[in-house]
Structure 1
């Protein structure tokens, strides 16, 4: 084996100091129970396949991987107490703690990590987020049926030692390890009931700060403190009730009434910016590494014609769309948002990549757009087929603006279909749309996360050009970072010049929480951690 560099435990010392400071206002006499509410949309809590934001919010409080994030959002040791890295950056040796247990008291072992990772990569798992594991040696090859499970670069050397080999050096690999597909699962539980183990309280055994007490994906998921968690002494909350609402507008009302302490869904008719400025109800706005966009279904007419797609993009007034949201968000000039690093330290992928499409609406574009429709064979808007836009309910106002702009400028009739998350994802998976409205929030700080997600979404398979898919695959296999980033720029250029994906604006994270909830962590990648949270003394 190549020479390994030893990582010290400075971060652990930092955690101890920080915890002492953070606990000074903690009051043991207060009931430490909080209620978090969000729109219905929890389909699975299986770490190998979950992908919705609400699922991730719950999962990152139930599980922990080899590493975790501290209150500053920085990676620190978790299930692994330390690790060694080879000089070429291709081999990691993780040394697990001796006192780590599952919520049923059984020991967490290195073999359970090996099993979980290979299970997620198994082609039969059909995970939409499996691209996050292509960093492992032969991970992609195994997932695509070109290698065996035993060829994948993860191996338990003993119960407390895990060897990980990478396909190529990845400086951000520790950040990747915090992603949910890298959580361990129990082979003995999963293989006894592979289709529904994650649907039952008794078999949803986890290793994080909280565990499941009651489980109803349609109403409420109750988590309680995990008494077997290795860092249990620093977990202050006794319980978290994740309340699932089918009427998302009611969440804000419940928050004002005091029955909900945390939420991120707002009534459609609310002036959110005014609410923030009033500083009355602790509504918080922060930048997110996230892009909101629409995708055109180029697999069917009329949007299989690039001139139609170009025409639609040219008449969108993105500034009006942003202004209507009242969140001080910025019109998107590319798919990759600002904040993603380029090759040289301190440089930004978005700045280097430049601007695409139209940031500002120009009335002259309407004439050009109509000419493009004529070239596509649609000189009479009355003969243009009705276009179906698919979105989730919270985006109803925004997609209605898009529909009205297409109608007012080009005379296009639009059928806006907004649904609760379950119905939306069903229609999305069936390809039952002409335009889909969506957004992507980064899982880690690298542009491959955006490109890999879009290229790997099986619901969008075939919508983009073959060149785009080839470039993303090529970038994924490159060891040279300069070449890799250059290839990702080329991929974004191809994606946006095909007019199959139109970036609209860069999302800002907006949520509300009672000011007496302390030491929670919501990251720019929209992770939500309550591991260190507590309720401080307050008056209602």
Structure 2
């Protein structure tokens, strides 16, 4: 069976993986992790392995952008770079790869739908434990959820658990005991969702943002004390790597967790160093790095030639899941005609070619282009006359200068966009900042424009939560129509009508232009010559299978 079960479940809602995105009142078909080849391992408990032969070695891990916190629920940026760090320290329920088409057990050994179709039940690995030796149980997950949904806990980002029954749209509990996260026993976690989802689709959508925290180390802190607790300076997690030391913004050193329940990583230390993106490939070739974040991924043919000439093997991702978009501040650029004009002013094929050298192609929506749900009728071409007409209609002030914040690696792309916008009469000032500053500045209204990249999934609503009008988001959207569209799609039970709704929704987003989709691209992975057993495509879902890595 092909690894696209969750796509099929979205459209068909049949008995293999239970009801997905339906509003049916009838009981859902039971969905277990053993229904598909990808999850065949989930019915077994794993035991810690003996340290591998290369346990006394060091893995040098490069990252082009620094993490902004060791607290996975209080990141200003919520960036993929930070997620890759948290993934080493803390545990998630599952391990997800290939844009969500492959799902394997992690802290959850197996999973299934509850009888009402809106509950998801996870059976936890009974060998899991915290790095201080304490058992990890379902009560830790329930504690984590209750902590993060506490209305008195103010976080840099919000909405983490807004999918749970008993929370509002900002992810906060609507009343004491309202959040439907339960531990029927020590190793069973039961979640009740606002909208029906199969466990697999739940994991594709939320696994990367869902980390367990140690109840026994945090529960004695008051809500006012939690964020400033010493715990975050040297967190004790349950993940495959143990925190050892940090040079803030520059270096993190981890020890291998020899007692990790999925197996001890085959190295002694993992040292994360922040280096310029322009140096990652050369550092891999020189031997300074063993691996750099996001699967040793490169996105142009020149780098491929360099790597192959140096004796490295190259593989390509199975899906074009890299998605790059322009973030628009919908508050400071409030007229949708101006935002649409900015979209029409860009030659996306030129931008994609310049940035990916043939690996990417222009997109008109965030939905993956290989998906059945991508609206092929949306135009990706440039239309300067239309752009100028929209600007005139909106009464655009030609003296207006928009501030565009970018990371250093986007400087060439930004300069080309600036030139194309100028041809339509739109003036843009480029400001180079770190990623966290860009996102914070966009939310605070300091910047009008930003550029961001994502690893999309084949779930057709994977990006839609970014447009929630009731939660402070990177796009400063306040229009409730986006929420109404999303809910309408969730509620539709007829498969053909649901697919049509998805097409209409993409057209609505295109015409209102809350952001500008640029391109989708695949990734070229440079195979490490010093580490075995790397799942390169997993990095796109912000997780590494480091417990299986072996340093040669």
Q: Which residue of 2 aligns with 1:194?
A: 226
**C-alpha deviation, 1:255, in angstroms:** 2.8
Indicate how the Cα distance of structure 1 residues 242 and 463 shifts in structure 2: closer, same or farther if over 3 A, else same.
same
The match for 1:466 is: 480
CA distance in 1 between partners of 2:326 and 2:28 (Å)? 48
Give secondary structure in 1 for the equivalent of 2:245: strand
Matched, 1:311 2:336: no
Task: Please point out which of 430, 443, 455 is paired with 2:444.
Answer: 430
Distance 2:299 2:107 in 1: 44
* 1:229-261 residue CA offsets vs partner (Å, 9 max, x unmatched): 22235x32222111123x443444433332112
Superposed, 1:247-262 pairs within 5 Å as 247-262=276-291
1:276, distance to aligned residue in structure 2 (A): 1.0
Distance 1:69 1:370 in 2: 44
Distance 1:68 1:529 in 2: 8
Could you state the TM-score of these two structures normalised by the residue count of structure 1? 0.80
1:53 Cα deviation from its structure 2 partner: 0.7
Instruction: Measure, in 1, the Cα distance between the counterparts of 2:507 and 2:302.
Output: 37
Partners of 1:288 and 1:525 in 2: CA distance? 13
SS in 2 for 1:389: strand
Counterpart among 49, 73, 91 of residue 48 in structure 1: 73
Q: Which residue of 1 aligns with 2:251?
A: 220
Aligned 8 A contact 2:443 2:476 in 1: no
Which residues of structure 1 form unaligned runs of 5+? Answer: 341-347
Spell out, residue by residue over 1:384-430, the C-alpha distance to the aligned partner (whole angstroms, 9 max, x if none). Answer: 212222221111111110001122x2344321112222332332232
Q: What is the RMSD of the two structures over their aligned residues, measured on CA atoms?
A: 3.7
Tell whether 2:536 aligns with 1:505.
Answer: no
SS at match of 1:354: coil
Aligned with 2:59 (options 34, 45, 56): 34
Shift of 1:209: 1.6
Question: Match for residue 349 of structure 1?
Answer: 373
Residue 448 (str. 1) matches residue 461 (str. 2):
yes
> Post-superposition shift, 1:151?
2.1
CA, structure 1 residues 178+236, in 2 after alignment: closer, same or farther (shift >3 Å)? farther
CA contact (8 A) 1:154 1:163 kept: yes
Structure 1 distance, partners of 2:542, 2:309, is 24
Query: C-alpha separation between the residues in 1 aligned to 2:404 and 2:369?
Result: 27
Q: Which residue of 2 aligns with 1:393?
A: 408
Alignment CA distance shift 1:208-1:295 (3 Å): closer
- 1:345 maps to none
Corresponding residue of 2:84:
57
Give the secondary structure class of the aligned counterpart of 2:522.
strand
Tell me if structure 2 keeps the 8 A contact 1:309–1:500.
yes
Equivalent residues of 1:5, 1:85 under 8 A apart: yes
Q: CA deviation at 1:101?
A: 0.9
Give CA-to-partner distance per residue, 1:314-341, whole Å, 9 cap, x none: 221111111211252111132222244x
Return the offset for 1:37: 1.0
Shift of residue 463, structure 1, vs aligned partner? 3.5
Q: CA deviation at 1:73?
A: 6.7
1:371 is aligned to 389
Is 1:403 matched with 2:418? yes
Match in the other structure for 1:344: none
Matched, 1:231 2:244: no
Q: CA deviation at 1:31?
A: 4.6
Deviations 1:416-461 (A, max 9, x none): 112222332332232222222223323x541222111333762446
Whole-angstrom CA distance in 1 between matches of 2:462 and 2:389: 37
- 1:529 is matched with 545
- Aligned match of 2:19: none
Distance across 1 between alignment mates of 2:197 and 2:159: 14
SS of the residue corresponding to residue 133 of structure 1 reads: coil
Which sits farther off after the overlay, 26-35 or 463-472?
26-35
Residue 105 of structure 1: CA displacement?
0.6
* C-alpha distance in 2 between matches for 1:373 and 1:11: 50
Q: Deviations over 1:275-322 (max 9, x none)?
A: 21451344654344232122333423xx43333333332221111111
What whole-Å deviation, never above 9, does each CA across 1:460-507 have from its counterpart, x for those lacking one?
A: 464463322332344456677666555444433222111332211113
Task: Verify the 8 A CA contact 1:225 1:239 in the aligned structure 2.
Answer: yes
TM-score scaled by length of structure 2: 0.79
Distance 1:271 1:108 in 2: 39
Deviation of the 1:38 alpha carbon = 1.2
Cα separation, partners in 2 of 1:4 and 1:438, compared to 1, 3 Å? closer
Measured against aligned partners, the alpha-carbon deviations of 1:206-226 in whole angstroms (never above 9, x if no partner) come to: 112222111333121112111
Contact 1:312 1:406 in 2 (8 A): yes
CA distance in 2 between counterparts of 1:367 and 1:73 reads: 41
Structure 2: unaligned runs, 5 residues or longer:
1-26
Change (3 A) 1:13 1:143: closer
In structure 1, C-alpha distance between the alignment counterparts of 2:144 and 2:113, rounded to whole Å: 22
Give the secondary-structure state (helix, strand or coil) at the position aligned to 1:448: coil
Q: How far, CA to CA, are the matches of 2:163 and 2:455 in structure 1?
A: 20
In the alignment, the residues of structure 2 paired with residue 183 and residue 271 of structure 1 have an alpha-carbon distance, to the nearest angstrom, of 30
Q: Distance in 2 between matches of 1:216 and 1:131?
A: 30
> Is the CA contact 1:262–1:512 (under 8 Å) kept in the aligned structure 2?
no
For each residue in 1:56-110, what CA deviation from the matched residue of structure 2 results, as whole angstroms up to 9, or x when unmatched? 1122222223333489973333333444543443334443333321001111111
The equivalent residue for 2:186 is: 159
Secondary structure (helix, strand or coil) at the match of 2:405 reads strand
Aligned CA distance change for structure 1 residues 403 and 277 (closer, same or farther; 3 Å): same
- Paired residues, what number? 502
